[in-house]
Amino acid sequence: MGKILIAYYSRKGQNYVSGAIKDLKVGNTAVAAEMLGALTGGDLFEINTVAAYPVDYTEATEVARKELRAGARPALKAQVAGMEDYDTVILGYPNWWGTMPMAVYTFLEVHDFSGKKILPFCTHEGSGLGRSEKEIAKLCPGAEVLKGLAIHGTGVSGAKKDLEKWLKQLGVIK
């Protein structure tokens, strides 16, 4: 399948987990991305915004909602060097308000995904992939967007088998 990039946005700190606000040292999406890196040997790239979101969970969700309503494109700290070298991009993010964080939209718009396969995965607390797969296809018309995987955030630490099964189904690993 060629060279693989695992690009992901993750939020550590206060998060909603199983009905309560908990402080996560590592965000759920980052946990899954690390597992995917180990399974595929792909390169990891964390999507980071220049302006940090509030530490408080409720405040962060309000900022995220305002960004979504405004169609904001938050500035990113870095871009992927050598994006043209990757054939497959495994794209991870939490489900925020039924789709991806706006930083992921920025990431998708600043890179050329023509001819690449995009494998979306998200972490969530009950919303699944939402409309994110359709949004990715719309933002990356020259790419092939394969079937995504939704991982319940509460169970992310035990998701390795599900990730492996998904990668096998899509022909990424044997």
CATH number at residue 26: 3.40.50.360
- Indicate if the pLDDT at residue 121 is higher than 60: yes
- Indicate if the pLDDT at residue 1 is higher than 70: no
Query: How buried is residue 1: exposed, middle or buried, by Cβ count under 10 Å (0-12/13-18/19+)?
Result: middle
For residue 112, tell me if it sits in a domain. Answer: yes
- Indicate if the pLDDT at residue 50 is higher than 70: yes
AA identity, residue 154: T
Mean pLDDT, rounded, for 78-83:
96
For residue 174, tell me if it sits in a domain. Answer: no
Mean pLDDT, rounded, for 141-153:
96
Mean pLDDT, rounded, for 40-55:
96
* 143 band by pLDDT with thresholds 50, 70 and 90: very high
Q: What are phi and psi of 136, to 5 degrees?
A: -60, -45
Strand pairing class (88-94; 117-124): parallel
Residues 92 and 37: their CA atoms lie apart, in Å, by 12
What pLDDT does 19 receive? 86
For residue 113, tell me if it sits in a domain. Answer: yes
Average pLDDT, the chain: 96
For residue 91, tell me if it sits in a domain. Answer: yes
- Indicate if the pLDDT at residue 142 is higher than 80: yes
Domain count for the chain, please give it: 1
For residue 120, tell me if it sits in a domain. Answer: yes
- Indicate if the pLDDT at residue 58 is higher than 90: yes
For residue 173, tell me if it sits in a domain. Answer: no
Structure tokens at 70: 């405004």
Mean pLDDT, rounded, for 85-106:
97
Mean pLDDT, rounded, for 39-67:
96
The range of the structural domain enclosing residue 156 comes to 4-168
Mean pLDDT, rounded, for 129-140:
97
Mean pLDDT, rounded, for 110-114:
97
Give the C-alpha distances (Å, rounded to integers) separating 38 from 5, 28, 42, 79, 161: 12, 16, 8, 22, 12
What pLDDT does 52 receive? 93
Mean pLDDT, rounded, for 86-98:
97
